[in-house]
Amino acid sequence: MEAVIFCGIQATGKTTFYKDQFFKTHMRISLDQLNTRNKERRFIDTCIQTSQAFVVDNTNPSPEERATYITIAKVNRFKVIGYYFQSKLDDALARNRHRTGKENIPEIGIRGTYKRLVPPSFTEGFDELYYVTAENNTFTIKQWLDEI
């Protein structure tokens, strides 16, 4: 049983990475899709009750925001894995300009998330941590060896 938590600003490839790596094995939990914390919590509760692996596909920029997911996963004996997405502000803003509709995030929103972004740490309760970069639509995953 796994709980995977993505961390990174908007437009860094989190949802595309989910589709590439976890679509067939993990349920996707995303506020973009569910719209409210109540629905999000209900979906997580269902995953917990049914021992279903899940991915929290949100920005999760701070330890406080990640703690909610880590706590419920740990209490229910889920392995907690974090993926930190390289968060170069200029690159994310450039990718965001190519998005349309609801996927296009106002620049102020991306900048605000960037200001709050704190890289994850094993001290938060992660069992495994990885660093993800994307270049030319190819993801590179590196094991997190030291604190950034």
| Residue 148 domain flag | no
What pLDDT sits at residue 146? Answer: 63
Specify the number of domains making up the chain.
1
| Per-residue model confidence as pLDDT tens digits over 51-71 | 999 999 999 999 999 999 999
CATH of the domain at 65: 3.40.50.300
Which range marks the domain in which residue 79 is found?
2-143
- Asked if the structure places residue 45 within a domain, the reply is yes
Alpha helices in the chain (DSSP H): 14-21, 31-34, 37-49, 63-75, 89-97, 107-116
At residue 142 the predicted structure's pLDDT band, cuts being 50, 70 and 90, is very high
Q: Within a domain: residue 43?
A: yes
Checking if the pLDDT of 147 tops 60, the result is no
More confident residue, 101 or 52: 52
The answer to whether residue 20 sits within a structural domain is yes
pLDDT at 98 (0 to 100): 82
What is the percent of the chain with per-residue pLDDT over 70, rounded to a whole number?
A: 98
Sign of the CA dihedral 5, 44, 16, 110?
A: negative
Beta strands 128-135; 79-85: pairing state: parallel
